Structure 1
């Protein structure tokens, strides 16, 4: 029996040590510290830090994705992904009942929160430029299970939110043609349960059409999005200019002042309108298709969030300057404001057409991102390997795109919009929260050089104080001394952490988040605050879905990844996998 140093264990049936093949490889070839951040993609792709390992993982897709995207493509993808129809519905409800004329401040606060989260995404995407987005960042930082848990939740929420967006497309398109009935273009079936009996064929057609487009070419899909986004920006510009032209500053003060519901109303409004910013994370999933990811990704992610923040705030301000907040329509705020103030009855048709175009652009970007998440999860052998395949001629993850397109179409066909909306958002906010934690851990921990305990303790205390502040705000916001206690404690522990714990990684050659750990800590605080603002049904859905994906991981993912590593690494060192003959090893599709 050969001697393996400190390990003196009997070999298993394949002639390898029973400590598992990956452990044997790590003992024979211990991982080297990353001297260059450019090596991070290799570490993200494979637990063993070797170029051969990363290449082997990418070969699971059968072909490489084609690098054709520029920075302006990413900006258009980010803007197109966020500028959906949500602003046309959410603004009226928040302005009338929650924030008042200060709804534009709510959009600004939500934009700051989104920007902080996007900065965390940006640093990871620059140093780990792989297609998996948050899944890859969490996997390389916290391990396989955390990455899988976050990635699976994101994929599920992509499917649900895309179905909701597609169904809203039918309503806005019907409005553009003069119909005021939401189900006028749907087929109602008496035999189905309420909430599932309005079949939405236009939504299904749109999803399948975009699925075919995304399978054909990423660059052409990006050009289509670029054209639609330009027209959508012109449409937003028309609303802003026309709104200010026909508005008056006195409407911002009457009848009860700028912030009739106080600071609480402004912050509660920010928690609601924040979901209009979700979509920028899709840009990070395009990392393997960008010509120069180091320079283009920061511009694409952070730039798109800044542009959308300005547009949303100006649109909300223009609306409230046109008409007093208590007269704003909750269902059609912009079109009704133009009709009441200016007498433009055709405004509802224009708003319907513009919103429909925005919906198509946001749906295109979201479907682009969801397929790449699933593709990289399948590369890691946590989903069936067929979903990891990339078409050799188009360079797109065709199988993942078709599979998720069919799932989205099935949900959009039957499920009512309100039912779908109650089930989304918590998974996305959870992933934003985890990515912010991961960035702090990534910057301050180097296993083998320092202990992770102080960093983990800081993250636990920060989360606890953030949760205490958020629950106090939600349950009894009048106890200001309790809010000050939790808020002050959060700031104090961040100061102590900043002064006492040295930062291990100081990225210099590529883009990085400045003033760490403050932006990431603020992102943790704000995401916890937003999570606690969600309804009970969101937490119920999250619990049920989490149970399903954990069960799938235990029954399939653990065994699949273990077997794949034994096959691949056994082949790498030779003799690790039983052979069919003494001359030839079996070819296994990994």
Structure 2
């Protein structure tokens, strides 16, 4: 039983098939058109989106100017993971991202679990991005004096919250024109929505529209998607660089004092918001079969995009907190807000345009990534053959692309982003952890074997990892002691913390015994810590999602698997 659950793909066979133009015993059928520049642009397209245009504000509000330090810390954490992804991408030049990497490292059931978890990052994450796009798009329309009815521009949950806010404002004697946009939209939606029986028809039509448009782009071909992505990236990079240059002329350095107004704890309070700003660089690993030279180009594309985004994030954080006091930045559109406050409304409007472009490019990259993971799972027999179908004309995974469009588009009509941001982060971090640990169990390549492409630098973690874990244990001794003394009364969050400490200590022990490489172990432990800081309610939903996935695997994938039949 256990041997069938953990049966692995042969790394040698995958590499040989890829070299012969075959992917998992199927002709790939995908166009090889992507180079280093295209992959770097795709990485930037995926990373720079809603994060830099919205979540950076709440992070700066908590941490002040010191939020720049958190961007460096998070970039190092993601950098460890990116190096591990690069090692796998160099060794396994086929589509599938962390799913395929887990199949080689840990076996089939873990590969299925991670493939199922990645749906949270690519599909569920795109619902959040589509809803964010809708908000920016509505702001743009209002700039042209075009007003969509409220019931066509939001979802029922947000409309109700806005309506309640508006009712309180009106009861307090506030004039309607001075209410927030959120309150105005919610009030309009609730008061004017048509009825079907007892149901008020409130739908986020712009979110659905952009998902369908992006799905069509992803359907008709990678070359067309590549061109669109590159154009959008050039535009938003030009706008962000312009913001940085113009903004520095309006920086008041007294706003940078104190640099850590709420201490380092305040900086760490922005962890989830800042990590969300980095999600996406791994998406380009799903396009391996469309790369001209994946073993050389994928690692470069990931690292270049991560480096460029980090530099831009740090500079934007410093400009934002220098132009206005950090306490003013708890807004949905911080970049536009600071320029509007300084009466530069045209720049604020240009930022709104850029935000629409930025979120559009994120949608495009993720709508391309999800179908390729399903295609890989289908080739392995874990999903029906239809998911591996490649369009004869467009040479894209056509059926998987349509299913992805519907999976993202339909929920975006009805639901609010809410906790889905946390679900997206937990699924992504879970993938990062398994990729980092997976590098440790990859077979060693013999010296002089003529290996091509990127090679992960080996730094002996025999003493470094145990020393770091012992230091963490010492620094968190009070929290560990309190958690143990009150374990029966503790919330789920502290239990997650204790589990993390156990995993860290076990990992440190094995690092000492087996001289594990420092980079993958550090990446895995950093990502694990970020995971336990995500609210416990999101963990419950995550476990529920995983349970559903395992039911599908045991009733379908386990018996239909290509490895089972061979």
TM class by shorter chain equals 0.7 to 0.9
* C-alpha distance 58-394 of structure 1, shift in aligned 2 (>3 A): farther
Match of 1:315 in 2: 316
How far is the alpha carbon of 1:272 from its aligned partner? 2.9
Give SS of 1:391's match: coil
* C-alpha distance 39-560 of structure 1, shift in aligned 2 (>3 A): closer
Match of 2:299 in 1: 298
Counterpart CA distance in 1 for 2:117 and 2:500 is 29
* C-alpha distance 297-207 of structure 1, shift in aligned 2 (>3 A): same
Counterpart CA distance in 1 for 2:318 and 2:338 is 13
Query: Tell me, which stretches of 5 or more residues in structure 2 are unaligned?
Result: 155-188, 447-461, 484-497
Which of the numbers 145, 149, 170 marks the counterpart of 2:109? 145
Match of 1:260 in 2: 261
* C-alpha distance 398-251 of structure 1, shift in aligned 2 (>3 A): same
Whose relative contact order is higher, 1 or 2, with alpha carbons under 8 Å and at least 6 apart? 2
Counterpart CA distance in 2 for 1:361 and 1:56 is 28
How far is the alpha carbon of 1:268 from its aligned partner? 3.0
Mapping of 1:540-579 within 5 angstroms? 540-561=540-561, 565-566=564-565, 569=566
Match of 2:173 in 1: none
| 1:311-363 superposed Cα distances (whole Å, 9 cap, x missing partner) | 111101110111111232422222221122x3113343222111000000011
Match of 1:89 in 2: 54
Counterpart CA distance in 1 for 2:511 and 2:546 is 34
Match of 1:513 in 2: none
How far is the alpha carbon of 1:190 from its aligned partner? 6.8
Match of 1:220 in 2: 224
Counterpart CA distance in 1 for 2:533 and 2:36 is 35
Counterpart CA distance in 2 for 1:102 and 1:477 is 30
Mapping of 1:152-551 within 5 angstroms? 152-178=116-142, 184=150, 186=153, 188=189, 198-253=202-257, 257-340=258-341, 342-442=342-442, 500-501=513-514, 517-551=517-551
Counterpart CA distance in 2 for 1:469 and 1:270 is 20
Q: Please give the TM-score of this superposition, normalised by the length of structure 1.
A: 0.75
Counterpart CA distance in 2 for 1:135 and 1:80 is 22
Match of 1:99 in 2: 63
What is the CA RMSD across the aligned residues, in angstroms? 3.9
Which of the numbers 26, 30, 41 marks the counterpart of 2:15? 41
Higher helix proportion (structure 1 or 2): 2
Counterpart CA distance in 2 for 1:360 and 1:470 is 45
Kept after mapping to 2: 8 A contact 1:38/1:128: no
| 1:244-278 superposed Cα distances (whole Å, 9 cap, x missing partner) | 1110221100xxx1101212222332343111111
Counterpart CA distance in 2 for 1:148 and 1:210 is 27
* C-alpha distance 203-149 of structure 1, shift in aligned 2 (>3 A): same
* C-alpha distance 114-191 of structure 1, shift in aligned 2 (>3 A): farther
Kept after mapping to 2: 8 A contact 1:106/1:273: yes
Kept after mapping to 2: 8 A contact 1:196/1:415: no
Kept after mapping to 2: 8 A contact 1:424/1:538: no
The farther-off stretch of 75-84 and 517-526 is 517-526
Instruction: Count how many residue pairs are aligned between Structure 1 and Structure 2.
Output: 491
Kept after mapping to 2: 8 A contact 1:40/1:127: no
Give SS of 2:424's match: coil
Larger radius of gyration: 1
Query: Tell me, which stretches of 5 or more residues in structure 1 are unaligned?
Result: 1-19, 46-50, 447-457, 480-484, 503-515, 570-590
| 1:268-289 superposed Cα distances (whole Å, 9 cap, x missing partner) | 3234311111101111111111
The farther-off stretch of 415-424 and 279-288 is 415-424
* C-alpha distance 477-277 of structure 1, shift in aligned 2 (>3 A): farther
Counterpart CA distance in 1 for 2:212 and 2:263 is 46
Kept after mapping to 2: 8 A contact 1:197/1:414: no
How far is the alpha carbon of 1:526 from its aligned partner? 0.7
Kept after mapping to 2: 8 A contact 1:198/1:416: no
